[in-house]
Amino acid sequence: MNEILTAVEGPVARLRLNRPKALHALNTAMCRAMLDALDAWAQDDSIHIVLLDHAEGRGFCAGGDIRMIADSGASDGAEAADFFRIEYRLNHRLFTYPKPIVAFADGIVMGGGVGISQPARFRVATENTKFAMPETGIGLFPDVGGGWYLSRLLGRMGEYLALTGHRLDGAECLALGLATHYLPAEALASAKAQITTTPDKALAILTDLSIAPPIAKILAHYADIDRLFAGDSVEEIFVALEAEDSDWAAATLATLRAKSPQACKVSLRIVREGRTMPDFAAEMAQEYAVATRVCRLPDFAEGVRAVIVDKDNAPRWAPSTPEAVDSAAIDAIFAPLPPAQAWAP
Protein backbone atom coordinates (compact mmCIF):
# COMPACT_ATOMS: atom_id res chain seq x y z
CA MET A 1 0.00 0.00 0.00
CA ASN A 2 1.28 3.45 -0.89
CA GLU A 3 1.53 5.39 2.37
CA ILE A 4 1.56 8.70 0.47
CA LEU A 5 -0.98 9.24 -2.30
CA THR A 6 -0.28 11.95 -4.85
CA ALA A 7 -2.44 13.22 -7.69
CA VAL A 8 -2.69 16.23 -9.96
CA GLU A 9 -6.16 17.43 -10.89
CA GLY A 10 -5.69 20.28 -13.34
CA PRO A 11 -4.13 23.17 -11.42
CA VAL A 12 -4.41 21.39 -8.06
CA ALA A 13 -1.92 18.91 -6.60
CA ARG A 14 -3.15 16.48 -3.94
CA LEU A 15 -0.94 15.11 -1.16
CA ARG A 16 -2.65 12.52 1.04
CA LEU A 17 -1.37 10.61 4.05
CA ASN A 18 -2.40 6.96 3.74
CA ARG A 19 -1.25 4.97 6.77
CA PRO A 20 -4.54 4.69 8.66
CA LYS A 21 -3.64 1.84 11.03
CA ALA A 22 -0.87 4.05 12.46
CA LEU A 23 -3.07 7.18 12.40
CA HIS A 24 -0.91 8.31 9.45
CA ALA A 25 2.22 8.60 11.61
CA LEU A 26 5.17 9.64 9.46
CA ASN A 27 8.11 7.40 8.65
CA THR A 28 11.22 8.22 6.63
CA ALA A 29 9.85 6.86 3.35
CA MET A 30 6.67 8.96 3.69
CA CYS A 31 8.69 12.11 4.30
CA ARG A 32 10.89 11.39 1.27
CA ALA A 33 7.84 10.77 -0.93
CA MET A 34 6.25 14.05 0.16
CA LEU A 35 9.49 15.94 -0.47
CA ASP A 36 9.86 14.44 -3.94
CA ALA A 37 6.29 15.35 -4.87
CA LEU A 38 6.60 18.91 -3.55
CA ASP A 39 9.88 19.43 -5.39
CA ALA A 40 8.34 18.29 -8.68
CA TRP A 41 5.22 20.43 -8.26
CA ALA A 42 7.25 23.53 -7.37
CA GLN A 43 8.74 23.39 -10.88
CA ASP A 44 5.38 22.86 -12.63
CA ASP A 45 3.85 26.20 -13.61
CA SER A 46 0.49 24.55 -14.30
CA ILE A 47 0.04 23.73 -10.58
CA HIS A 48 -1.34 26.62 -8.55
CA ILE A 49 -2.09 25.11 -5.14
CA VAL A 50 -1.47 21.99 -3.01
CA LEU A 51 -4.13 20.29 -0.88
CA LEU A 52 -2.80 18.26 2.06
CA ASP A 53 -5.06 15.82 3.89
CA HIS A 54 -5.42 12.19 4.95
CA ALA A 55 -7.06 9.47 2.94
CA GLU A 56 -9.16 7.65 5.52
CA GLY A 57 -9.56 6.93 9.21
CA ARG A 58 -9.41 9.34 12.09
CA GLY A 59 -5.97 10.82 11.31
CA PHE A 60 -4.81 13.61 10.21
CA CYS A 61 -1.38 12.60 11.53
CA ALA A 62 -0.49 11.27 14.96
CA GLY A 63 3.20 12.19 14.73
CA GLY A 64 6.38 10.38 13.82
CA ASP A 65 7.37 6.74 13.96
CA ILE A 66 8.19 6.68 17.69
CA ARG A 67 8.93 2.96 17.90
CA MET A 68 11.57 3.19 15.17
CA ILE A 69 13.14 6.27 16.78
CA ALA A 70 13.26 4.49 20.15
CA ASP A 71 14.82 1.33 18.70
CA SER A 72 17.40 3.40 16.86
CA GLY A 73 18.12 5.56 19.89
CA ALA A 74 18.79 2.44 21.91
CA SER A 75 21.58 1.51 19.47
CA ASP A 76 23.65 4.00 17.46
CA GLY A 77 20.87 6.49 16.71
CA ALA A 78 21.73 6.58 12.99
CA GLU A 79 18.29 5.61 11.68
CA ALA A 80 16.61 8.14 13.99
CA ALA A 81 19.02 10.86 12.85
CA ASP A 82 18.22 10.04 9.21
CA PHE A 83 14.50 10.29 9.93
CA PHE A 84 14.85 13.64 11.71
CA ARG A 85 17.04 15.01 8.91
CA ILE A 86 14.50 14.10 6.20
CA GLU A 87 11.44 15.07 8.26
CA TYR A 88 12.90 18.47 9.11
CA ARG A 89 13.75 19.06 5.45
CA LEU A 90 10.10 18.35 4.68
CA ASN A 91 9.01 20.78 7.42
CA HIS A 92 11.33 23.46 6.01
CA ARG A 93 10.23 22.78 2.42
CA LEU A 94 6.60 23.26 3.41
CA PHE A 95 7.46 26.42 5.36
CA THR A 96 9.24 27.99 2.37
CA TYR A 97 7.03 26.54 -0.37
CA PRO A 98 6.39 28.99 -3.23
CA LYS A 99 2.77 27.93 -3.78
CA PRO A 100 -0.18 28.08 -1.38
CA ILE A 101 -0.88 24.93 0.64
CA VAL A 102 -4.22 24.07 2.26
CA ALA A 103 -3.90 21.63 5.18
CA PHE A 104 -7.13 19.91 6.22
CA ALA A 105 -6.34 19.04 9.85
CA ASP A 106 -9.47 16.96 10.38
CA GLY A 107 -8.75 14.58 13.26
CA ILE A 108 -5.68 13.92 15.39
CA VAL A 109 -2.87 16.41 14.79
CA MET A 110 0.09 15.61 17.01
CA GLY A 111 3.86 16.04 16.80
CA GLY A 112 4.83 15.39 13.21
CA GLY A 113 1.29 16.25 12.13
CA VAL A 114 1.81 19.72 13.55
CA GLY A 115 5.07 19.96 11.61
CA ILE A 116 3.42 19.37 8.23
CA SER A 117 0.21 21.36 8.81
CA GLN A 118 1.45 24.53 10.53
CA PRO A 119 3.56 25.72 7.57
CA ALA A 120 0.46 25.76 5.31
CA ARG A 121 -0.98 29.12 4.30
CA PHE A 122 -4.49 27.84 5.04
CA ARG A 123 -4.99 25.53 8.04
CA VAL A 124 -8.49 24.10 8.35
CA ALA A 125 -9.75 22.80 11.69
CA THR A 126 -13.03 20.93 12.28
CA GLU A 127 -15.05 19.55 15.18
CA ASN A 128 -12.83 16.46 14.92
CA THR A 129 -9.50 18.28 15.34
CA LYS A 130 -7.41 17.22 18.33
CA PHE A 131 -4.16 19.19 18.32
CA ALA A 132 -1.31 18.55 20.75
CA MET A 133 2.44 18.38 21.14
CA PRO A 134 2.56 15.78 23.94
CA GLU A 135 6.26 14.95 23.71
CA THR A 136 7.21 15.71 27.34
CA GLY A 137 5.13 12.65 28.26
CA ILE A 138 7.59 10.37 26.46
CA GLY A 139 10.81 12.21 27.29
CA LEU A 140 10.99 14.24 24.07
CA PHE A 141 10.22 17.88 23.23
CA PRO A 142 7.97 19.65 20.71
CA ASP A 143 10.14 19.48 17.60
CA VAL A 144 9.26 19.74 13.84
CA GLY A 145 9.31 23.51 14.31
CA GLY A 146 7.43 23.48 17.61
CA GLY A 147 9.93 25.91 19.05
CA TRP A 148 9.01 28.35 16.26
CA TYR A 149 5.23 27.95 16.23
CA LEU A 150 4.60 27.69 19.97
CA SER A 151 6.90 30.60 20.79
CA ARG A 152 4.86 32.82 18.49
CA LEU A 153 1.55 32.27 20.26
CA LEU A 154 0.38 35.14 22.45
CA GLY A 155 1.69 35.39 25.99
CA ARG A 156 2.90 32.16 27.61
CA MET A 157 0.54 29.84 25.74
CA GLY A 158 3.52 28.25 23.99
CA GLU A 159 5.18 27.37 27.27
CA TYR A 160 1.92 25.91 28.58
CA LEU A 161 1.28 23.73 25.51
CA ALA A 162 4.92 22.59 25.27
CA LEU A 163 5.22 21.54 28.91
CA THR A 164 1.77 20.06 29.55
CA GLY A 165 1.03 18.57 26.11
CA HIS A 166 -2.50 19.93 26.54
CA ARG A 167 -4.86 18.85 23.77
CA LEU A 168 -6.70 21.60 21.89
CA ASP A 169 -9.91 21.21 19.93
CA GLY A 170 -10.59 22.86 16.60
CA ALA A 171 -12.25 25.93 18.07
CA GLU A 172 -9.28 26.48 20.35
CA CYS A 173 -6.87 26.12 17.41
CA LEU A 174 -8.78 28.83 15.56
CA ALA A 175 -8.82 31.14 18.58
CA LEU A 176 -5.05 30.78 19.09
CA GLY A 177 -4.20 31.23 15.41
CA LEU A 178 -3.05 27.63 14.92
CA ALA A 179 -5.91 27.28 12.42
CA THR A 180 -7.01 29.86 9.87
CA HIS A 181 -10.51 28.46 9.27
CA TYR A 182 -13.09 26.36 11.12
CA LEU A 183 -15.29 24.19 8.90
CA PRO A 184 -17.70 21.38 9.72
CA ALA A 185 -16.15 18.09 8.64
CA GLU A 186 -19.10 17.47 6.33
CA ALA A 187 -18.10 20.58 4.32
CA LEU A 188 -14.53 19.43 3.58
CA ALA A 189 -15.42 17.47 0.44
CA SER A 190 -17.19 20.53 -0.97
CA ALA A 191 -14.22 22.75 -0.07
CA LYS A 192 -11.78 20.45 -1.87
CA ALA A 193 -14.03 20.14 -4.93
CA GLN A 194 -14.56 23.90 -5.18
CA ILE A 195 -10.84 24.67 -4.75
CA THR A 196 -10.04 22.11 -7.45
CA THR A 197 -12.37 23.98 -9.82
CA THR A 198 -11.23 27.50 -8.89
CA PRO A 199 -7.93 27.26 -6.97
CA ASP A 200 -7.28 31.00 -7.09
CA LYS A 201 -10.38 31.53 -4.93
CA ALA A 202 -9.30 29.16 -2.13
CA LEU A 203 -9.46 31.87 0.54
CA ALA A 204 -12.97 32.95 -0.47
CA ILE A 205 -14.15 29.33 -0.65
CA LEU A 206 -12.84 28.48 2.82
CA THR A 207 -14.24 31.70 4.25
CA ASP A 208 -17.64 31.05 2.70
CA LEU A 209 -17.80 27.49 4.10
CA SER A 210 -16.57 28.51 7.57
CA ILE A 211 -18.98 28.41 10.50
CA ALA A 212 -18.93 30.05 13.91
CA PRO A 213 -16.91 27.76 16.18
CA PRO A 214 -17.90 26.74 19.71
CA ILE A 215 -16.44 28.73 22.59
CA ALA A 216 -12.68 28.22 22.88
CA LYS A 217 -12.42 26.85 26.42
CA ILE A 218 -8.68 27.53 26.70
CA LEU A 219 -9.31 31.27 26.68
CA ALA A 220 -10.93 31.06 30.12
CA HIS A 221 -7.45 30.25 31.49
CA TYR A 222 -5.48 32.59 29.28
CA ALA A 223 -4.65 35.10 32.04
CA ASP A 224 -3.71 32.29 34.45
CA ILE A 225 -1.39 30.71 31.87
CA ASP A 226 0.22 34.05 31.08
CA ARG A 227 0.95 34.65 34.75
CA LEU A 228 1.83 31.17 35.99
CA PHE A 229 4.03 30.10 33.07
CA ALA A 230 6.15 33.26 33.02
CA GLY A 231 8.84 31.87 35.35
CA ASP A 232 12.43 31.69 34.14
CA SER A 233 12.67 27.97 34.94
CA VAL A 234 10.54 24.87 35.25
CA GLU A 235 11.07 25.08 39.02
CA GLU A 236 9.65 28.61 39.11
CA ILE A 237 6.60 27.52 37.12
CA PHE A 238 6.04 24.66 39.61
CA VAL A 239 6.32 27.08 42.55
CA ALA A 240 3.83 29.48 40.96
CA LEU A 241 1.32 26.67 40.37
CA GLU A 242 1.80 25.34 43.92
CA ALA A 243 1.00 28.78 45.33
CA GLU A 244 -2.16 29.13 43.25
CA ASP A 245 -5.36 28.12 45.04
CA SER A 246 -7.48 26.73 42.21
CA ASP A 247 -8.57 23.37 40.88
CA TRP A 248 -7.17 24.26 37.46
CA ALA A 249 -3.71 25.04 38.87
CA ALA A 250 -3.72 21.84 40.93
CA ALA A 251 -4.68 19.76 37.89
CA THR A 252 -2.05 21.49 35.75
CA LEU A 253 0.62 20.86 38.37
CA ALA A 254 -0.38 17.19 38.59
CA THR A 255 -0.06 16.95 34.79
CA LEU A 256 3.41 18.50 34.87
CA ARG A 257 4.60 16.21 37.66
CA ALA A 258 3.86 13.23 35.40
CA LYS A 259 6.10 14.54 32.61
CA SER A 260 9.84 13.99 32.20
CA PRO A 261 11.58 16.77 34.19
CA GLN A 262 14.47 16.70 31.74
CA ALA A 263 12.12 16.93 28.77
CA CYS A 264 10.28 19.83 30.41
CA LYS A 265 13.56 21.74 30.77
CA VAL A 266 14.45 21.06 27.15
CA SER A 267 10.96 22.07 25.99
CA LEU A 268 10.92 25.32 27.96
CA ARG A 269 14.28 26.28 26.48
CA ILE A 270 13.18 25.35 22.95
CA VAL A 271 10.20 27.70 23.22
CA ARG A 272 12.12 30.53 24.87
CA GLU A 273 14.99 30.39 22.36
CA GLY A 274 12.56 29.94 19.49
CA ARG A 275 11.36 33.50 19.98
CA THR A 276 14.75 34.88 18.96
CA MET A 277 15.58 32.52 16.08
CA PRO A 278 16.53 34.53 12.97
CA ASP A 279 14.67 32.20 10.62
CA PHE A 280 12.99 28.81 10.40
CA ALA A 281 16.13 27.07 9.11
CA ALA A 282 18.02 28.12 12.24
CA GLU A 283 15.19 26.73 14.36
CA MET A 284 15.32 23.40 12.56
CA ALA A 285 19.11 23.20 12.85
CA GLN A 286 18.85 23.62 16.61
CA GLU A 287 15.97 21.17 16.93
CA TYR A 288 17.92 18.59 14.93
CA ALA A 289 20.90 18.83 17.27
CA VAL A 290 18.60 18.49 20.28
CA ALA A 291 16.49 15.67 18.80
CA THR A 292 19.43 13.49 17.80
CA ARG A 293 20.72 13.67 21.38
CA VAL A 294 17.46 13.44 23.34
CA CYS A 295 16.32 10.32 21.45
CA ARG A 296 19.34 8.46 22.84
CA LEU A 297 18.76 9.42 26.49
CA PRO A 298 17.22 7.06 29.08
CA ASP A 299 14.07 9.18 29.60
CA PHE A 300 12.98 8.69 26.00
CA ALA A 301 13.40 4.91 26.17
CA GLU A 302 11.50 4.91 29.47
CA GLY A 303 8.72 7.13 28.11
CA VAL A 304 8.21 4.87 25.10
CA ARG A 305 8.19 1.82 27.37
CA ALA A 306 5.57 3.32 29.68
CA VAL A 307 3.26 4.86 27.08
CA ILE A 308 3.67 2.74 23.94
CA VAL A 309 5.19 -0.66 24.81
CA ASP A 310 3.97 -1.71 28.27
CA LYS A 311 1.22 0.94 28.37
CA ASP A 312 1.39 1.13 32.18
CA ASN A 313 1.61 4.93 31.97
CA ALA A 314 3.94 4.87 34.96
CA PRO A 315 7.30 6.13 33.68
CA ARG A 316 10.23 6.26 36.08
CA TRP A 317 12.06 9.39 35.06
CA ALA A 318 15.71 9.93 35.86
CA PRO A 319 16.24 12.51 37.24
CA SER A 320 12.82 12.43 38.87
CA THR A 321 12.51 16.14 39.74
CA PRO A 322 13.33 19.38 37.90
CA GLU A 323 15.77 20.37 40.66
CA ALA A 324 17.83 17.23 40.02
CA VAL A 325 18.30 17.92 36.31
CA ASP A 326 21.88 19.05 35.68
CA SER A 327 21.99 22.38 33.85
CA ALA A 328 25.27 21.37 32.21
CA ALA A 329 23.52 18.31 30.75
CA ILE A 330 20.88 20.57 29.21
CA ASP A 331 23.58 22.85 27.80
CA ALA A 332 25.23 19.80 26.23
CA ILE A 333 21.94 18.77 24.59
CA PHE A 334 21.70 22.24 23.01
CA ALA A 335 25.31 22.51 21.85
CA PRO A 336 25.66 23.00 18.07
CA LEU A 337 26.66 19.91 16.12
CA PRO A 338 29.98 19.76 14.26
CA PRO A 339 29.50 21.16 10.72
CA ALA A 340 29.75 17.72 9.09
CA GLN A 341 26.87 16.42 11.22
CA ALA A 342 24.67 19.53 11.32
CA TRP A 343 21.26 19.82 9.66
CA ALA A 344 20.81 21.97 6.58
CA PRO A 345 17.76 22.54 4.34
Residue 31: CA count within 13 A, CB half-sphere: 24
Active site residue 64: yes
Residue type at position 182:
Y
Which member of 143, 159, 172, 283 is catalytic? 143
Let me know if 143 is a catalytic residue.
yes
Active site residue 177: no
DSSP letter at 3?
A: S
Q: Of the listed 59, 73, 111, 112, which one is catalytic?
A: 112
Considering the candidates 3, 53, 63, 64, report the single residue annotated as catalytic. 64
283 given a catalytic annotation: no
CB 61 within 8 A of CB 54: yes
CA 341, CA 345: separation in Å to the nearest integer? 13
Order of strands, edge to edge, in the sheet holding 130-132?
A: 60-61, 108-110, 130-132, 168-169
Alpha-carbon distances, residue 152 vs 96, 284, 290, 340 (angstroms): 17, 15, 20, 31
Beta carbons within 10 angstroms of residue 252's beta carbon: 23
Phi then psi dihedrals of residue 23, to 5 deg: 55, 35
Say which of 3, 135, 159, 287 is annotated catalytic: 135
Helix (H) or strand (E) holding 125, with range, is strand 122-125
Residues identified as active-site: 64, 112, 135, 143
